[in-house]
Chain A
Amino acid sequence: MARAVTPRRKLITTLAAWAVALIIFFPVLWMILTSFKTEASAVANPPQFFSADWTLENYAEVWARSDYPRFFWNSVVISVGSTLLGLLVAVPSAWAMAFVPGRKTKDLLMWMLSTKMMPAVAVMIPLYLLFQRLGLIDTKFGLVVALMLMNLPIIIWMLYTYFKEIPGEILEASRMDGASLWGEIVHVLTPMALPGIASTMLLNIILAWNEAFWTIVLTTTKAAPLSAFIASFSAPQGLFYAKLSAASAMAIMPILILGWFSQKQLVRGLTFGAVK
């Protein structure tokens, strides 16, 4: 909607937009600032913006007192693993639904999405008992499977809307040339669908990284990711604002940076193909 506007109007809208964006971002900024203050400075009254005692000690202490690298590695394995496993199951399904649709395809998609409406708490006990029976409690594999299943409807839905945008004629042409179904997927579809798959992958890594219910319920120590780390950190530490902020920053920074770098693809992915 780029229209010719007066410089004055542009200045006003720019200022207003920046003010709104900074308000939305401010809690994150304030947390990051607090993480670099001494504890006394963090709770000073009135609050200190520029006059605070800056320090790196909080990070050093959180690092020394907790096993951050292990939590970080668990987060990476669980979020990337569950996403890759999910894609493995979802790509063929979404492909089939997009290019060989049946009368029930739309109902099937809706049903898949509706499985996500079941509140996690409602099935917490049975799933816990089930995981216990299968020896999957506090294992990375168990969480990979759980988060994969949890996000599978979203993955399928997103891939479906991307695949829908690929013109069918191209597939027909390759079919005329005698390409097999598998050949179609590998040589024709994959190159065209790669951006969509990448967006889907990004969004699901973020969703899995930030998942904080099953990760806390189904892990104790060995397989606990950063979302469990932060939950355990805020509980016994009491009101150490600066350290809490440093631990929070360490928990969200990896995904914040990944998200910022990939925000173009991500925004496209977020719209579930429903918005052009």
Chain B
Amino acid sequence: MSTQSSRFAARMMVAPSVALLLIWMIVPLAMTLYYSFRLYRLISPDRTGWVGFNNYLWFVNSPDFWLALFNTLALVGGVLIITVVLGMLIALLIDQPVKGQGVLRILVIAPFFVMPPVAASIWENLFMHPQNGLFAAVARSFGAQPILFLENYPMLSVIGIVSWEWLPFATLILLTALQSLSSEQLEAAEMDGASALSRFRYIILPHATRAITVVILIQTIFLLGIFGEIFTTTQGGPGSASTTLPYMIFKQAIAAKDIGRAAAGGIIAVILANIVAYFLMRSIGKHLDA
């Protein structure tokens, strides 16, 4: 089929993108690795030198580190669970014969087009604000105290905002999967007396496995690096309550102006991402055969 020359041509066609991505990945990574072993503070740029693993030790031993690690994983895991479960329920609902499915889809997809700083500021100001937010007004109308979302439940609030942003993605992919399911199969199962739950468990869920895999894979890639939503709303606080690994690195680089420590944090974040990617690929990669 493919001749020697066409295989050579194919390699030439793949080469540019591989080369570009290699440069895009390796050059900044190598620089980060270099800085991570150096003393490099923007406040005292004259004092430089090798410091071995000191930056890493500082980062891992800092009181925020384990919290930030936990918050990062909680953000990824929380948003994944919420979007996949809610997305599946909404997809099942919209997939029913309902009036105005086209308009419904337009309404449901809207959050996907809202850029993160806008999404975060809508939720922070118009909804979660303790005086002027809509949630506070609702609480007051019931005679209750407004909930201080960003003060008392910062991480849950951020998970809520990010889940809203990603819900359309999960819903639409799962909906597409449901719509390709043959109705005969479901009808046959229904006639055989299969309950709605077992129809879901044994017919719908296996059919949607690939779709769920895509949702988890793509969302994880984006969720591991979530930054803007936290920057706009809680700034990692109160204290460090909503500091994630990316945000902790950002604080070291911008607020503390310590490039060496930030770089060590960056390398740790890259290692974490690789660990997550490894387990993700091992557990769900087999469903992805393109």
State the A residues within 8 Å of B (CB): 1-3, 5, 10, 13-14, 16-18, 20-22, 24-25, 27-28, 30-31, 34, 42-43, 45-47, 89-90, 92-93, 95-97, 99-100, 102, 106, 108-110, 112-127, 129-130, 149, 152-153, 156, 160-161, 164, 172, 181, 206, 209-213, 226-227, 230-231, 234, 239, 241, 244-245, 248, 251-252, 255-256, 259-260, 263, 266-268, 270-276
Contacts and interface: CB of A to CB of B under 8 A. Distances in A.
A116 B1 CA distance: 34
Given A17-B93, A21-B104, A239-B125, A1 B31 contact: no
Contacts of A24: 90, 107-108, 110-111, 164, 167-168
A126 B126 contact: no
A197 to B, nearest CB: 15
Interface stretch (B50-58, B151-159, B171-179): B171-179
Contacts of A17: 93-94, 96, 98, 104
B7 A100 contact: yes
B117 A230 contact: yes
Contacts of A1: 95-96, 178-179, 181, 183, 186
B115 A212 contact: yes
A172 B110 CA distance: 42
B14 A127 contact: no
Contacts of A116: 221
Contacts of A255: 113, 115
B229 to A, nearest CB: 10
Contacts, number: 307
A123 B98 contact: no
Contact of B14 (A20, A108, A230): A108
Given A27-B123, A119-B246, A260 B106 contact: yes
Given A3-B97, A18-B104, 12 more contacts: A2-B97, A13-B98, A31-B126, A47-B137, A89-B16, A97-B10, A152-B17, A181-B9, A211-B115, A227-B117, A268-B176, A275-B214
Given A115-B24, A210-B115, A3 B172 contact: no
Contacts of B288: 274
A27 B167 CA distance: 13
Q: Which applies to chain A's interface (DSSP): helix, strand, loop or mixed?
A: helix
B253 A239 contact: no
A22 B181 CA distance: 26
Contacts of A231: 117, 232
Given A24-B164, A227-B117, A14 B98 contact: yes
Contact of B21 (A25, A153, A172, A244): A153
Nearest to B6: A100
A129 B290 contact: no
Contacts of B47: none
A118 B21 CA distance: 12
B12 to A, nearest CB: 8
Interface of B: 1-2, 6-7, 9-11, 13-14, 16-18, 20-21, 24-25, 27-29, 31-32, 35, 90, 93-100, 104-119, 121-123, 125-127, 131-132, 134, 137, 140-141, 164, 167-169, 172-173, 176-181, 183, 186-187, 210-211, 213-214, 217-218, 220-221, 224-225, 227-228, 232, 245-247, 249-250, 253, 259, 262-263, 265-267, 269-270, 273-274, 276-277, 281, 285, 288, 290
B107 A113 contact: no
Given A234-B121, A270-B169, A117 B224 contact: yes
A270 B108 CA distance: 14
Nearest to A253: B113
Contact of A47 (B2, B134, B266): B134
B224 A97 contact: no
Contacts of B214: 271-272, 274-275
Contacts of B113: 206, 210, 252, 255-256, 259-260
B183 A2 contact: yes
Contact of A14 (B35, B99, B269, B277): B99
B13 A259 contact: no
A45 B112 CA distance: 30
A20 B288 CA distance: 31
A203 to B, nearest CB: 10
B281 to A, nearest CB: 7
A93 B13 contact: yes
Nearest to B186: A1
**7 A-B pairs with least C-beta separation:** A122-B266, A126-B31, A100-B10, A96-B10, A92-B13, A123-B28, A210-B115
19 contacts: A10-B97, A18-B104, A24-B168, A28-B110, A92-B13, A97-B14, A120-B227, A125-B35, A125-B263, A126-B28, A126-B32, A149-B21, A181-B6, A210-B115, A245-B126, A251-B118, A255-B115, A275-B210, A275-B214
